[in-house]
């Protein structure tokens, strides 16, 4: 059976949820082979085995993690040439897409980004599904040349446990001079907020202009549900919440089970980032706000009254 290369997304060996999702998708196409670059492998191995990695290629060279992306692309290109995989799956993160872009040119292979589903195509290829034009269209696509490279949107393919052997192989890939041209000189990890990661969360509660800068009610409601907190572009531009929390065309695109928009009008820029959420709820003072066209449930009212009441009610029900 052909291998499917999966780039492991991790922080010092803590494997991110997206990797489990990629391994599950990989199993549909061939035999999953994880590609682990960086430190902390011992912490990662168990998770990779649990989610179906038959093999793990390890790259220990620290130069690869110190330099931005180009080395990762060279490692993957080396493996593509060696294994002629059925596909290469990467997360749809900035690094994932950069590596995928460079890899596509190196291996002369087609590239599809932001896939929300990945299935075997007719005659052995790979077929993907994407949600485009601010979620208004669903398209299916396939790669017609080379080893299909696909970046997969987080939270789209449910991860499934499928214990496998995760047989290790350490590989050394000589890096070109060119691969060392962009160096990471400083990395500041963000303090863990205690909340789930925005792109991985099952529930997201976002605040917008209507919060007037006070995200307290939004955060408390989010915490009562165990949700991640997002923000509209207006709120981020006003400096009320960090850009990493921005949901929308120029921020993060999320597709959780439940999306709650509080004090957000629902302009296209925002909708592009959350329109494919399974259930959508909104609270807004303005009954004409465009967001209400998208909702499964909406409350016309002041979030400063509605959210605290809802938070209390949720806490009571949870006991």
Partner 1 sequence: MNIVVCVKYVPDAQSDRTFEPDHTTDREAVDGLLSELDEYAVEAALALNEAGDGGEVTVLTMGPEDAAAAVKKALQMGADKGVHVLDDAIAGSDAVASSLVLAEAIKKLGPVDLVLTGLASTDGSMSVVPAMLAERLGLPQVTFASELTVEGGTARIRRDSDVASETVEAALPAVVSVTDQINEPRYPSFKGIMAAKKKPVETWGLADLGVDPSQVGLDAAWTTVETVEQRPPRSKGEVVTDEGEGGKALAEFLASRKFV
Region 126-155 residues binding partner 1, contact defined as CB under 8 A: 127, 131-146
Q: What's the DSSP call for residue 3? A: E
Size of the residue set binding partner 1 (CB under 8 A): 95
Q: Check residue 96 and give left, alpha or beta (phi > 0: left; psi -120 to 50: alpha).
A: alpha
By CB under 8 A, the residues from 234 to 253 that bind partner 1 are 242-244, 249-250, 252
Residue placing its CB nearer to partner 1 in the complex, 52 or 72:
72
Tokens 């850009």, residue located: 243
Q: Do the beta carbons of residue 56 and residue 169 sit within 8 Å?
A: yes
By CB under 8 A, the residues from 176 to 205 that bind partner 1 are 178, 181-190, 197-199, 203
How far, in Å, CA of 27 to CA of 250, rounded?
32
Q: What are phi and psi of 22, to 5 degrees?
A: -65, -40
What is the dihedral angle through the alpha carbons of 276, 277, 279, 285, rounded to the nearest 10 degrees?
A: -90
Q: Which of 69, 90, 204, 222 binds partner 1 (CB under 8 A)?
A: 69
Q: For partner 1, what does the binding mask look like between residues 150 and 179, x meaning CB under 8 A?
A: ----------------------------x-
Specify the pairing of strand 117-120 against strand 126-132. antiparallel
Task: State CA 124 to chain mean position distance.
Answer: 26
The window from 20-28, 37-45, 64-72, 80-88 that contacts partner 1 (CB under 8 A) reads: 64-72
Q: Does 65 bind partner 1 (CB under 8 A)?
A: no
Sorted by sequence, the CB contacts under 8 Å of residue 160 that are 6+ apart come out as: 24, 27, 51, 52
Q: Does 63 bind partner 1 (CB under 8 A)?
A: no
For the bound state, the minimum distance from the C-beta of residue 238 to partner 1, rounded and expressed in Å, comes to 13
Q: For partner 1, what does the binding mask look like between residues 96 and 115, x meaning CB under 8 A?
A: -xxxxxx-xxx-xxxxxxx-
Q: Does 84 bind partner 1 (CB under 8 A)?
A: no
Determine the Cα angle at 216 with ends 211 and 221, to 5°: 100
By CB under 8 A, the residues from 283 to 312 that bind partner 1 are 283, 287, 292-302, 305-312
How far, in Å, CA of 188 to CA of 171, rounded?
29
For the bound state, the minimum distance from the C-beta of residue 132 to partner 1, rounded and expressed in Å, comes to 7
């Amino acid at each position: 059976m052909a291998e499917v290369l999966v780039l492991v997304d991790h922080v010092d060996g803590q494997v991110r949820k997206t990797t489990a999702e990629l391994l599950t998708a990989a199993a549909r196409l061939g035999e999953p082979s994880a590609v682990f670059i960086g430190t902390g492998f011992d912490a990662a191995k168990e998770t990779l085995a649990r989610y179906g990695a038959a093999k793990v290629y390890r790259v220990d060279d620290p130069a690869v993690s110190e330099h931005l992306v180009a080395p990762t692309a060279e490692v993957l290109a080396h493996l593509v040439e060696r294994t002629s995989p059925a596909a290469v799956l990467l997360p749809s993160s900035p690094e994932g897409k950069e590596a995928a872009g460079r890899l596509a040119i190196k291996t002369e292979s087609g590239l599809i980004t932001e896939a929300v589903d990945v299935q075997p195509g007719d005659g052995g290829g790979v077929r993907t599904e994407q949600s485009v034009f601010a979620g208004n269209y669903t398209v299916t696509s396939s790669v017609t040349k080379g080893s299909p490279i696909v970046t997969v949107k987080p939270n789209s393919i449910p991860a499934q446990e499928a214990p496998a052997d995760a047989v290790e192989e350490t590989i050394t890939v000589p890096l070109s001079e060119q691969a060392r041209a962009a160096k990471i000189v400083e990395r500041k990890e963000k303090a863990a907020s205690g909340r789930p990661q925005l792109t991985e969360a099952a529930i997201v509660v976002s605040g917008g202009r209507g919060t007037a800068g006070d995200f307290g009610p939004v955060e408390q409601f989010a915490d009562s549900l165990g949700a991640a907190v997002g923000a509209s572009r207006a709120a981020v531009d006003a400096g009320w919440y960090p850009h990493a929390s921005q949901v929308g065309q120029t921020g993060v695109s999320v597709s959780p089970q439940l999306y709650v928009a509080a004090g957000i009008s629902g302009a296209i820029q925002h909708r592009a980032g959350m329109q494919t959420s399974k259930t959508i709820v909104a609270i807004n003072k303005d009954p004409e706000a465009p967001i209400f066209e998208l909702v499964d449930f909406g409350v016309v009212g002041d979030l400063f009254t509605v959210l605290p009441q809802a938070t209390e009610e949720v806490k009571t029900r949870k006991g």
